Structure 1
Amino acid sequence: MDIRKLDRAAVLETVRILEQADPQDWDLPTPCADWTLRQLVAHMAGQHHGFAAAAAGNGADLSVWRPAALGDDPLTAYRTAADTVLDAFAPPGVLTREFVLPEISDTLGFPASVAIGFHFLDYVVHGWDLARALGVSLDLDDATAEAALVFALRVPDDERRVGPAALFRPALRATPGADVLDLVLTALGRPPDWTADAARRPFTAPRG
């Protein structure tokens, strides 16, 4: 399993989805609680910059993980962030490095393959968030979805999923016959049937 190839596919899919956003769409609700599309994309772009910094050995600086300023052209700002992280992961020697990811642990370093796996899973899920917010499809091949499920099932389902700072919510029960992507979502606490209309009613959706 080439984690960088999988990650690249997930990231480029998020770019493709955002290319379909109209100017008025940036205020749409998303499956991440209390985040509009613009706020979610600012978070995603900031994480791209943070992971790129981690690949270069600078991940301990919390400032590099801040949500990105998107300015008047959020799509271009996001594309730039996506290119930055993909370029950072591309050098052959990157897989021998240790990444510092302070939002996950301020004491442990992570092997590059594990760290890039975290990033990959996050962008499969955030790709779904974007697609649901915009009412478009998320197009990932079976191998990518199946790899995401492997990573999702490794995420501990414990007290760390409770509270406003939780990266994921407690796992949900999957419906019988659910497809692979739905299994990824329910494993991480996201209801696959989320809709923007439901979000406008009183409801607390999983935070990304």
Structure 2
Amino acid sequence: METSTALLRVLDQLADLLDDAAATPPTAPTPCSEYDFQTLRGHVVGWLTAFTDGYAADDHTCSDPEAVTVEGSGAEQVRRNAARLSELLPAALAHPLNIGGAGMPGDMAASMILWEYQVHGWDLAQAAGLPWSPDEEGLEASLVFAPNMLTPDFQGKGKVFGPAVDVPADAPAMNRLAGLSGRQV
């Protein structure tokens, strides 16, 4: 499965999850220790908008995710960005995506976004008590990709990603990806 296909499927699931979780208390804790439900929802919607704007921009620079205000559950914003991405990808993957002043190859950025939204979708689903089951093929691709991003600079105590959590090798792919990303499974 192509990364762009897996990403669009995860975004479709994320939009449905946000609709289904509309009644979740905004302060519900998530497995992502930095964020409660409302803050993580804002992070997810803001960055998806920023990434999409970056893929669409002539200079491939992401917009400011902090400037995005979540409308309602955020589901319609996710759907609008997914629709834009479906038109932009895969052609946009040939160009670097400038994120926070640093360029990243477009295809690598798409893999990072896929991984981020698989894990943050899981975080939101855990907080809301809802199911989350992205495609196995996309999860397996992220299990190959993520270790390249989870360097000691980014993963460990007090860093963006907590230390990896041991998960049995025969556990479902989503559990292995969550554990790899520092989530207690």
Which is greater in Rg? Answer: 1
- Percent identity between the aligned chains? 22
Instruction: Tell me how far apart the structure 1 counterparts of residues 95 and 86 of structure 2 sit (CA, whole Å).
Output: 11
Q: Are residues 87 and 154 of structure 1, via their aligned partners in 2, closer, same or farther at CA, if it must alter by over 3 Å?
A: same
User: Residue 66 of structure 1: CA displacement?
Assistant: 1.2
| TM-score under structure 1 length normalisation | 0.77
Name the counterpart of 2:49.
Answer: 49
Name the counterpart of 1:80.
Answer: 77
Q: Are residues 158 and 89 of structure 1, via their aligned partners in 2, closer, same or farther at CA, if it must alter by over 3 Å?
A: farther
Question: 1:137-161 CA distances to partner (integer Å, 9 max, x unpaired)?
Answer: 1122321221221222322330322
Note the aligned Cα RMSD (angstroms).
2.3
Name the counterpart of 1:101.
Answer: 99
Name the counterpart of 1:180.
Answer: 173
Amino acid at match of 2:182: G
For structure 1, the 5+ residue unaligned runs are 193-208
Question: 1:73-123 CA distances to partner (integer Å, 9 max, x unpaired)?
Answer: 2x1x34224422541353352122211011xxx34x222111111111000
3-state secondary structure, aligned to 1:100: strand
Q: Are residues 134 and 114 of structure 1, via their aligned partners in 2, closer, same or farther at CA, if it must alter by over 3 Å?
A: same
Amino acid at match of 1:174: V
User: Residue 127 of structure 1: CA displacement?
Assistant: 1.0
User: Residue 20 of structure 1: CA displacement?
Assistant: 1.4
Name the counterpart of 1:134.
Answer: 128
Name the counterpart of 1:203.
Answer: none
User: Residue 24 of structure 1: CA displacement?
Assistant: 4.8
Amino acid at match of 2:16: R
Instruction: Tell me how far apart the structure 1 counterparts of residues 82 and 178 of structure 2 sit (CA, whole Å).
Output: 24
Q: How does 1:1-208 map to 2 (within 5 A)?
A: 1-57=1-57, 60=61, 64-66=64-66, 68-70=68-70, 73=72, 75=73, 77-88=74-85, 90-91=87-88, 92-102=90-100, 106-107=101-102, 109-162=103-156, 166-175=159-168, 177-192=170-185
User: Residue 55 of structure 1: CA displacement?
Assistant: 0.6
